[in-house]
């Protein structure tokens, strides 16, 4: 489930039960922070937390203040500065070295955040969303829909891939040969609805049919399970695959993580998909020069 969908559902769940809470949105971040602008969390009047704007420390601090925040229904701003060791004095023990501006919206059944009442998905297209306060723009976001992955296969190694993809919030469709024959995929499956395709049928002819259908589609990531030599044989069988289609094919699929078990292999596959779809190298972060969040940001702070 997408983080936005989960956030809206958490607010509705509380208000339908007659409870109150606060919606927290990170509207600005400076320096090193756990989350960036656009991160959200919902905290109930009992202190239950859904979502994350930090590693948990800021949410706990706000939960401690929840009653005072709920006493005044007006939205408010809070600034958390973790650029020095002073946060230890407040018992937060923050590990980041940055500064966050958070927008806090108290809510109940009669006073719902605008995110809950107005946000609507637009199919597979991104949504431009602006967080405002008293007519002032605080944050402009390009919110993309949840990743959608199709996994072709019916073996026992399919479930770990599907399960892990769902755990990171992606929408997953598993299509086994017994459900849709690989020769009929191009007719019966809307391939344009997916961001990534994982082919793991363990059947040479099935894989030929699937690659023939999937590679020409708009799917930007295609992963093929099996050794490199097998992938080369499959491509030779198909013949004359254009360079742009070859560029999106990952064969063998996955990152070099030393994976052996189905769960470890699933981790290497999902990690590679994440890196490919965000145009990241998948290198160790200690090798990255400069800020790790700066590239490809989909949120623009306009509050300051």
CA atoms within 13 A on the CB side of 69: 26
Q: What is the pLDDT of residues 105-117, one digit of tens each?
A: 999 999 999 999 9
Q: How confident is the model at residue 226 (pLDDT cuts 50, 70, 90)?
A: very high
The helix or strand, by DSSP H or E, that contains position 149, with its residue range, turns out to be strand 148-152
- Tell me the mean pLDDT in the region 169-190: 96
- Of 243, 263, 242, 267, the C-alpha closest to 254 is 267
Q: What is the pLDDT of residues 35-85, one digit of tens each?
A: 889 999 999 999 999 999 887 788 888 888 898 899 888 999 988 887 665
89 occurs within a structural domain? yes
Together in a domain, 157 and 68: no
292 occurs within a structural domain? no
- Of 26, 30, 24, 28, the C-alpha closest to 11 is 24
- Of 35, 273, 249, 19, the C-alpha closest to 149 is 273
d(CA 22, CA 101) in angstroms, rounded, equals 15
Together in a domain, 173 and 271: yes
Together in a domain, 228 and 185: yes
CATH number at residue 181: 3.40.50.720
Together in a domain, 152 and 273: yes
Number of domains in the chain: 2
- Of 88, 141, 152, 92, the C-alpha closest to 119 is 141
Together in a domain, 112 and 165: no
Together in a domain, 174 and 79: no
129 occurs within a structural domain? no
Together in a domain, 109 and 165: no
117 occurs within a structural domain? yes
Together in a domain, 168 and 227: yes
Which domain does 60 fall in, by range?
A: 3-121
CA atoms within 13 A on the CB side of 43: 23
Residues 6+ positions from 131 with CB-CB distance below 8 Å: 25, 27, 103, 115, 137, 138, 139, 140, 141
Together in a domain, 163 and 270: yes
- Tell me the mean pLDDT in the region 196-202: 97
Q: Which of 123 and 293 is assigned the larger pLDDT?
A: 123
* Long-range own/partner contacts, residues 129-137 (CB < 8 A, 24 or more apart): 131/25, 131/27, 131/103, 133/75, 133/103, 136/303, 137/302, 137/303
> Residue 68 in contact with residue 24, Cβ under 8 Å?
no
Together in a domain, 63 and 175: no
Angle at 273 between CA 98 and CA 125, to 5 degrees: 80
294 occurs within a structural domain? no
Q: pLDDT at residue 89 above 80?
A: no
Together in a domain, 103 and 158: no
Residue 50, SS3 per DSSP:
strand
> Residue 249 in contact with residue 196, Cβ under 8 Å?
no
Together in a domain, 90 and 158: no
282 occurs within a structural domain? no
143 occurs within a structural domain? no
The 8-class DSSP code of residue 185 comes to: H
Q: Which of the given ranges, 23-27, 88-92, 93-97, 289-293, has the highest pLDDT on average?
A: 23-27
133 occurs within a structural domain? no
Q: How confident is the model at residue 299 (pLDDT cuts 50, 70, 90)?
A: low
Q: How confident is the model at residue 294 (pLDDT cuts 50, 70, 90)?
A: low
pLDDT of residue 97: 65
Q: pLDDT at residue 247 above 80?
A: yes
């Amino acid at each position: 489930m997408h983080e936005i969908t989960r956030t809206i559902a958490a607010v509705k769940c509380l208000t339908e039960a007659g409870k109150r809470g606060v919606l927290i949105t990170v509207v600005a971040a400076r320096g090193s922070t756990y989350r960036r602008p656009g991160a959200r969390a919902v905290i109930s009047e009992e202190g239950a937390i859904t979502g994350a704007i930090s590693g948990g420390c800021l949410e706990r601090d706000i939960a401690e203040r929840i009653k005072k925040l709920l006493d005044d229904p007006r939205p408010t701003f809070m600034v958390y500065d973790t650029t020095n060791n002073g946060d230890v004095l407040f018992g937060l023990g923050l590990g980041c070295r940055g500064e966050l501006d958070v927008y806090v919206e108290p809510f109940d059944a009669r006073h719902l955040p605008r995110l809950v009442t107005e946000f609507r998905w637009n199919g597979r297209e991104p949504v431009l969303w602006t967080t405002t306060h008293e007519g002032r723009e605080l944050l402009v976001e390009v919110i993309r829909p949840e990743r959608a992955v199709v996994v072709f296969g019916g073996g026992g190694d399919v479930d770990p891939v599907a399960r892990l993809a769902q755990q990171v919030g992606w929408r997953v469709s598993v299509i086994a040969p017994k459900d849709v024959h690989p020769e009929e995929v191009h007719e019966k499956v809307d391939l344009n609805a997916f961001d990534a395709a994982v082919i793991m049928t363990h059947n040479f002819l099935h894989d030929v049919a699937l690659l023939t259908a999937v590679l020409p589609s708009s799917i930007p990531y295609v992963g093929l399970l099996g050794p490199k030599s097998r992938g080369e044989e499959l491509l030779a069988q198909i013949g004359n695959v254009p360079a742009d289609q070859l560029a999106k094919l990952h064969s063998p699929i996955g990152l070099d993580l030393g994976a052996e078990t189905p769960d470890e292999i699933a981790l290497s596959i999902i990690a590679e998909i994440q890196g490919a779809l965000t145009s990241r190298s998948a290198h160790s972060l200690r090798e990255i020069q400069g800020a790790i969040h700066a590239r490809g940001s989909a949120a623009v702070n306009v509050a300051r």
